[in-house]
Amino acid sequence: MTQTLESASTTTPQARVDAWLADFEAALATKDGQRVAGLFATDSFWRDLIAFTWNIKTVEGREGVADLVANTDAGASGFHTTAEPTEAGGIVDAWIAFETAVGRGKGHLRLNDDGAWTLLTTLDELKGFEENQGGTRPMGVEHGARKDRVTWKERRESEMDEREPYVVVVGGGQGGIALGARLRQLGVPHVVVDKRPRPGDQWRSRYKSLCLHDPVWYDHLPYLEFPKNWPVFAPKDKIGDWLEMYTRIMEITYWSSTTCRSASYDEAKKEWTVVLDRDGEDVVLHPKQLVLATGMSARPNLPSFPGQDVFTGEQHHSSQHPGPDAYKDKKVVVVGSNNSAFDICGALWEVGADVTMVQRSSTHIVKSDSLMDLGLGDLYSERAVASGVTHHVADMIFASLPYRIMHEFQIPVYAAIKERDQDFYDRLEKSGFRHDWGEDGSGLFMKYLRRGSGYYIDVGSAELVANGDVPVVQGQVDHLTEHAVVLADGTELPADLVVYATGYGSMNGWAAELISQDVADKVGKCWGLGSDTIKDPGPWEGEQRNMWKPTQQEALWFHGGNLHQSRHYSLYLALQLKARAEGIETPVYGLQEVHHKG
Amino acid sequence: MTQTLESASTTTPQARVDAWLADFEAALATKDGQRVAGLFATDSFWRDLIAFTWNIKTVEGREGVADLVANTDAGASGFHTTAEPTEAGGIVDAWIAFETAVGRGKGHLRLNDDGAWTLLTTLDELKGFEENQGGTRPMGVEHGARKDRVTWKERRESEMDEREPYVVVVGGGQGGIALGARLRQLGVPHVVVDKRPRPGDQWRSRYKSLCLHDPVWYDHLPYLEFPKNWPVFAPKDKIGDWLEMYTRIMEITYWSSTTCRSASYDEAKKEWTVVLDRDGEDVVLHPKQLVLATGMSARPNLPSFPGQDVFTGEQHHSSQHPGPDAYKDKKVVVVGSNNSAFDICGALWEVGADVTMVQRSSTHIVKSDSLMDLGLGDLYSERAVASGVTHHVADMIFASLPYRIMHEFQIPVYAAIKERDQDFYDRLEKSGFRHDWGEDGSGLFMKYLRRGSGYYIDVGSAELVANGDVPVVQGQVDHLTEHAVVLADGTELPADLVVYATGYGSMNGWAAELISQDVADKVGKCWGLGSDTIKDPGPWEGEQRNMWKPTQQEALWFHGGNLHQSRHYSLYLALQLKARAEGIETPVYGLQEVHHKG
């Protein structure tokens, strides 16, 4: 370490990284946690995606590093750079690769004058179970002549009726589909079940004006990128088509029109019993692993108000909203002021409905253009791709930033957005809308990671509020009458339709519904970082709760999030499942504790 | 020219190419054909794909160059290299780009000591009608709020019922689909019609063991590459799925279950009347352009033999063959010895049928592995991709080789294949099979370009003939009896099933069927080069007859070929159609003459 420090100013970034990696590898070999920790800066982070910990885990500081090293034994070696390191602002950046006893990994390293500031280690593939791609792609045809040949079609038909899957994935949206593709590619017998008739219906069934709020560069699925003529923000039916196509092309074993009724785990047999209704047929499967990919936005929070039973108009949760066509000239009250509320208000206004928004708490709004330019542009944009930052690279850069300090990188972005769109925010405020930038000013993405709500990516509807076309009313709903929504201050809002754009519950609610309340409580709240901000109570977790990693319930996994997360983290979840399917030892370091039930 | 010659040995390839391009551009500006011709070698070729000629045209020698220059006026300028030229074996290779008055082009140049040996010029896009891709991709969502918004789904539904297309494409196989994608991307109103229920059924409906005979790197469609886990040789049902999904994703206006009954051209109105049966509904369209993409292998040659009416077994053309499953333990006679004959014989043998092949003329066979390694590997393989030769580059390299001399490059390839697989060919000969290498030893690809038949890419079935499992009998069919096929020499072959693997007729037969015999005769034979070899009579044409270029019938076009051709040439056909749709002048140089009726 001393040697590295002394030479920092005189040697090249390459030499510094090479020396650090050599020291690191030598120290790891001694299994001396303190010696490894000495190579890290006082303020430092080691984020590991299943390469060392068989967990998704960030340890902090030398103490955290020492603990990780003392309690893991990955047999890592062969650390080397995969591109020439660069230096800027006193930080050396390096892309690295390495092996463990059972796999091959990739990572990223940042050195400062004090040692390693951030280290990312990720498992990329398992030895002996490498994916068949490129030069190792399947032949397709079986050359030669053989009696009783089984054709591809016959094999697929048989696979589609898989009755002994190793994994059952409940939920066939983008998460279940991305994971299904990974499992198929890794040769893990699986069934992905979804209640809807076709893959992609998760999107098709939403309100008709819905488009993705994230741009195309952020949204690629594994193995098959969107083509260059794919729109920046895909309309919902188009992304539905893509998901349907992708499911077929990737040969995912996907059961449509299939509802999961219940699941229970036999701790002795280490096996699930999963009861399904497959298009009217009762099917019971006995997988070793169960993944809930039912969506972080799929369990509606439907609020209960006095008078909902006497209200004579129509009322539904935003997730059930059919779109605006039936509501021309109708009076509509939308309760809520986040993404769905705005999109629904906008679409209703467009057909000529008389819409009012009820804002119950402050909301963060960012204009889509500004978010694209200032928030995502360096990592996910045409500009990024042109400069060599493909989504593969961007995913790794993003993964290399520890959640503990991520807000520090976000705050200046939102300060710049505020400056750029000051006029818009001024007008919005004048309209009576309550706007915030997150508790620490870190804006949209931290809100997404912490609580998954509390924001709107403005694609136009915020302007309707700002200019008064859609009036916004502050307050809490007190009760409903036959024809109106009444707020706590007595304000009466006449309504033919009430839309509850009131958000979604934690994903462990799915465990309660499908398995048991006990299991739901045992695994606890999903999502969030423990940031001690609204809807994300402490203590600090360091990673998103329960996502893509072992939970307190053996053989139960949660998968979800946006397309970026479905793409990137499905790799680590799939490798964890594959390792278990093949009997590879997967000792979990630092299994998360549960502090909140939901 | 003298200057160029003198400096050849002392200047860099870059300087030589720069000098040549400057001379070429200056000479072009004078419109002095002789001056331009002086920059070409005595033996030289200029191949133009619609950039200068609005035709697909190769001119030969200085005389050809002078004639092209004297009779075209593309307004070409801005010639420059797009990568550093290289030199090997006395030939300088250069990738170039340029503009014309109406578009932007790419090309390739080979210089020898005598001047330009080969020049390829291609039109890549039309100015003002550039495709929206990458940085100019569509936004998808329309930001902002607007009354009476039309969603993507509503727009697509309306487009799918297009009643005023500029182009009707008859035939929705790989050719029609690739062209449809280009037309969609260029904003040309189109309808692609196909008689089958779903896109991809053209493949699905074939015999069940069928896989593509060309490898994945050769088969990409425009805009969307196969993923890296796609098999080398896709099974027929899998490529069917890909075509179906591609059609949807690319938003092609595609009418399934639609049969074209007739088409006629009004020379005064310059408009077609196309009568369709769309899933039982009569629909008449009036496009300005009609493309026949009905397939070079879709009009069966069904031979007529005495006794076909008394034969009590089953008999059908190979294109109607349902696969082997019903023929276990049956006696089958397959008439023919090319691709379909071998695949069908192999599949029948695999289920335990008693198969005999009747060989009527000699056939060329290449083992798939050898063809991949020695024939395609430099251009279309994982190795090629790894060395930077993507299919985009490969297509242009391939296009840069004039057909007149292509066989010279092919002969040594097949000599090497012969040496590599000598043992196989020896055994094949001993089995009584008549094998050839093409009249000039130029092998499979020249047979494909010249006649589109006469070969088999061996994926295993040839071994069955070589080892006697499938006996081969030489001769012509004389007649059928109740239970047998009888050859001219009296040989009697008992049969429960006769399969006529007797190939396909020229594509202008489609014009006869749909339009009139007069029009079919006016446009003449399709395909072939005029090589004066079997089934490709002279005179020399220089390009494939009638394919992807103007024909003697105004507003009638032929499109087809393998996936490589469907991909690459669909660009030039689509640009020709787009230019006409936009009223851009498209004076055709060197419209082909017709020497053969079919």
Q: What is the DSSP string of B261-321?
A: EEEEEETTTTEEEEEEEETTEEEEE--SEEEE-S-TT-SB-----TTTTT--SEEEEGGG-
| Residue B478 at interface with chain A, using a CB cutoff of 8 Å | no
Contact of B482 with chain A, judged by CB distance below 8 Å, is answered with no
Asked if B156 and B131 touch (Cβ cutoff 8 Å), the reply is no
Could you tell me the pTM of the whole model? 0.93
Q: Please, are residues B106 and B97 in contact by the beta-carbon 8 Å criterion?
A: yes
CB contact under 8 A, A230 and B351: no
Task: Read off the tokens for B530.
Answer: 């005029």
Q: Report yes or no: B125 at the A interface, CB cutoff 8 Å.
A: no
Q: Which letter does DSSP use for residue B372 in this model?
A: I
Distances (CA, A) of B36 to A304, A439, B30, B64: 84, 72, 9, 11
Contact B144 A460 (CB under 8 A): yes
**Nearest partner of A232 among A339, A338, A369, A396, judged by Cα:** A369
Instruction: List chain A residues with CB under 8 Å of B231.
Output: 137-141
Residues 6+ apart with CB under 8 A from A501: A317, A318, A334, A335, A336, A337, A338, A340, A341, A344
Task: Calculate how close chain A gets to B556, using CA atoms only, in Å.
Answer: 29
Secondary structure of residue A498 in the 3-state scheme: strand
Length of chain B equals 598
Helix, strand or coil for residue A253?
coil
The encoded tokens of residue B84 equal 């550093």
The span from the CA of A201 to the CA of A244, in Å, is 9
Angle at B339 between CA B335 and CA B344, to 5 degrees: 60
Q: Give the pairing of strands B115-126 and A91-99.
A: unpaired
Q: Which residues of B touch A143 (CB under 8 A)?
A: 368-369, 459-460
* Per-residue confidence band for B2, with pLDDT thresholds at 50, 70 and 90: very low
Residues with Cβ within 8 Å of residue B53, at least 6 apart in sequence: B68, B72, B588, B589, B590
Provide φ and ψ at A414, rounded to 5°: -75, -25
Name the residue type at position B263.
A
The answer to whether residues B121 and B52 touch, using CB atoms and an 8 Å cutoff, is: yes
Contacts of B591 (CB under 8 A, 6+ apart): B55, B550, B552
Residues of B in contact with A140 (CB under 8 A): 211-212, 231-235, 238
Alpha-carbon span A491 to A512, nearest angstrom: 38
For residue A373, give the DSSP letter.
Answer: I
d(CA A552, CA A212): 33
Using CB atoms within 10 Å of the CB of residue A169, give its burial: 0 to 12 exposed, 13 to 18 middle, 19+ buried: buried
Pick the residue from chain A with its C-alpha nearest to B342: A145
Contact B144 A369 (CB under 8 A): no
Q: Which of A130, A131, A137 to mutate to test binding with chain B, by most B CBs within 10 Å of its CB? A: A137
Distance from C-alpha of B98 to C-alpha of B119, rounded to nearest angstrom: 13
* Chain A residue at shortest CA distance from B133: A229
Contact at CB, A146 and B235, closer than 8 angstroms: no
**Model ipTM?**
0.91
Helix (H, G, I), strand (E, B) or coil at B556: strand
Which of A237, A244, A349 minimises the CB distance to B145?
A349
Each of the 598 residues of chain A gets a pLDDT tens digit; together they read 444 444 455 689 999 999 999 999 999 999 999 999 999 999 999 999 999 999 999 999 999 999 999 999 999 999 999 999 999 999 999 999 999 999 999 999 999 999 999 999 999 999 999 999 998 999 887 777 888 788 899 999 999 999 999 999 999 999 999 999 999 999 999 999 999 999 999 999 887 778 888 999 999 999 999 999 999 999 999 999 999 999 999 999 999 999 999 999 999 999 999 999 999 999 999 999 999 999 876 688 999 999 999 999 999 999 899 889 999 999 999 999 999 999 999 999 999 999 999 999 999 999 999 999 999 999 999 999 999 999 999 999 999 999 999 999 999 999 999 999 999 999 999 999 999 999 999 999 999 999 999 999 998 899 999 999 999 999 999 999 999 999 999 999 999 999 999 998 889 999 999 999 999 999 999 999 999 999 999 999 999 999 999 999 999 999 999 999 999 999 999 999 999 999 999 999 999 999 998 8
Residue to test with chain B: of A136, A147, A150, A151, most B Cβ within 10 A = A151
> Pick from B147, B224, B237: which is nearest to A352 by CB?
B147
Asked if residue A320 lies in contact with residue A343, where contact means CB atoms within 8 angstroms, the answer is no
Q: Which two tokens stand for residue B593?
A: 């003459």
Closest by CA to B571, choosing from B4, B49, B39, is B49
Size of interface A-B (CB pairs under 8 A): 174
A208 contacts in B (CB within 8 Å)? Answer: 151, 153
CB atoms inside a 10 Å sphere around CB B30? 11
> Is the CB of A152 inside 8 Å of chain B's CB atoms?
yes
A500-515 pLDDT, tens digit per residue, is 999 988 899 999 999 9
For chain B, the farthest-separated pair of C-alpha atoms sits apart, in whole angstroms, at 82
Q: In B160-278, which residue ranges form alpha helices assigned H by DSSP? A: 174-186, 201-204, 216-219, 236-249
Per-residue pLDDT of A280-322, as tens digits, reads 999 999 999 999 999 876 688 999 999 999 999 999 999 899 8
DSSP codes of every residue in A140-200: SS--S--TTPPPHHHHHHHHTT-SS-SEEEE--SHHHHHHHHHHHHHT--EEEE-SSSSTT
B229 in A contact zone (CB under 8 Å):
yes
- Asked whether the beta carbons of residue A248 and residue B245 sit closer than 8 angstroms, the reply is yes
| Partner residue facing A346 (CB), from B145, B152, B248 | B145
